[in-house]
Amino acid sequence: WVFGSHLVAVRNRRYWNNAATRIDRIDYITTADPSAELSAFRAGDLDITSTIPPDDYRWVERHLPGRLHVSPELAVYYLGFNLTRPPFRHARKLRRALSMVIDRERLVASVTGGGERPAYTFVPPGIPGYTPPLPAYARWPMSERIARARALLAAARLGAGPLRVGLRYNTGELHERIAVAVAAMWKSALNVDTTLHAEDYKELVQDIDQARVTEVFRASWVADYEDPFSFLQVLRSGFGINLPRYSNPAYDAWLRRADAQVDPTRRADRLAQAEALMLHDQPVVPLFYYVAKHLVAASVHGWRDNAMDVVYDKDLAVTASGGAR
């Protein structure tokens, strides 16, 4: 292992299931630059990439379709509201209005552009036995969503003048583009003035944790296991990583009922009831679901796309000489 460069793993022939292992060596290459990774793959120096550069996604789709693997991932990109202070504390109508006017479809088509899917629920689709409860406004045309949102904003009685909010996000080109797009949608539909704050990740986490200056913040969640509870537990009252500080006893009660239910169908129904209630309260604004994006060389066999984006290297095989990289 050369720190910051590469790690070499060789087959352990004493492994209990060595007979089923099909690969003798893997070179894990360290890189923080997706564009350099793409170049290495095209040059034949890599067999599998960890991701695709966002700006090159359409090019890869056109020129490397047989090598591109894109699969839905159990992960959501969202905006959170700081519910401990104005203007979002005790302001459900305001939170719902801001969520309604964000055009997720346009966001993933024109801003992220990497195969992501628009998100209206906190739990992504694709978990067996669970159907996330889609909010009614997700099916409305944008004109109706804007009209309803304006009515909600007026009913929130925020006083004269345009609403001013701060949106914090960690530095990065994609996060910047998303923040600018969301701010433009809020301004166009609701005349909301948004101040953008780009921070390094450590500073953003500290600001969210202290909850003193944050109003709206960018966050994400990736499932630890393939179950809706992996998402919904995050917003339980008092949970350690409940970033918006959401607290609703009725929501907590639905989660407890689900915990006590052994029948899978009834358990899923109780979890869906909890999610529907939470989405009505709108402590978070789901924007899109992540997708796993990899380039896999034709010489690699055994690759299986999956929602957890976990592929065991022992299950892979390489027809060319040498190991996988």
The CATH code of the domain that includes 22 is 3.40.190.10
| 161 vs 181: CA distance, rounded Å | 22
| 131 vs 126: CA distance, rounded Å | 8
In a domain, 251, yes or no: yes
Element of type H or E holding 168 = strand 164-170
Token reading at 19: 């007979």
| 243 vs 256: CA distance, rounded Å | 20
Residue pair 304/7 in contact by the 8 Å Cβ criterion: no
C-alpha to C-alpha distances, 274 to 136, 244, 325, nearest whole angstrom: 16, 17, 44
Rounded to two decimals, the pTM is 0.89
pLDDT of residue 320: 63
Which of 120, 234, 212, 110 lies closest to 166 in space, CA to CA?
212
pLDDT of residue 324: 64
Asked if residue 179 and residue 101 are part of one domain, the reply reads: yes
What is the chain's alpha carbon radius of gyration, rounded to the nearest angstrom?
Answer: 22
Asked if residue 116 and residue 22 are part of one domain, the reply reads: no
Asked if residue 162 and residue 19 are part of one domain, the reply reads: no
Local structure of residue 184 (DSSP, 8 states): H
In a domain, 324, yes or no: no
The CATH code of the domain that includes 108 is 3.10.105.10
Phi and psi torsions of 45, nearest 5°: -90, -10
Q: List the domain range (segments joined by +) for residue 47.
A: 6-67+296-318
Token reading at 283: 């402590």
Mean pLDDT by runs of 10 across the 325 residues of the chain is 94 94 93 92 95 90 93 96 96 98 97 94 96 97 98 88 94 95 98 97 96 97 96 96 97 97 97 98 98 94 91 88 58
In a domain, 1, yes or no: no
pLDDT of residue 307: 87
| 55 vs 73: CA distance, rounded Å | 20
Token reading at 14: 């004493």
Asked if residue 132 and residue 10 are part of one domain, the reply reads: no
pLDDT of residue 157: 80
In 191-222, alpha helices (H): 201-210
pLDDT of residue 38: 96
- 55: Cβ–Cβ under 8 A, 6 or more apart, which residues? 113
Token reading at 30: 């360290």
In the numeric block, the tokens 């628009």 are attached to 118
How long, in residues, is the chain?
Answer: 325
Q: At what angle do helices 92-100 and 173-190 cross, to 10 degrees?
A: 110
In a domain, 325, yes or no: no
3-state DSSP call for residue 125?
coil
Asked if residue 139 and residue 282 are part of one domain, the reply reads: yes
**Exposure pattern of 113-140 as b/e (b: 16+ CB <10 Å)?**
ebbbbbbbbbbbebbeebebbebebeee
In a domain, 59, yes or no: yes
The Cα angle at residue 157 between residues 152 and 158, in degrees rounded to 5: 105
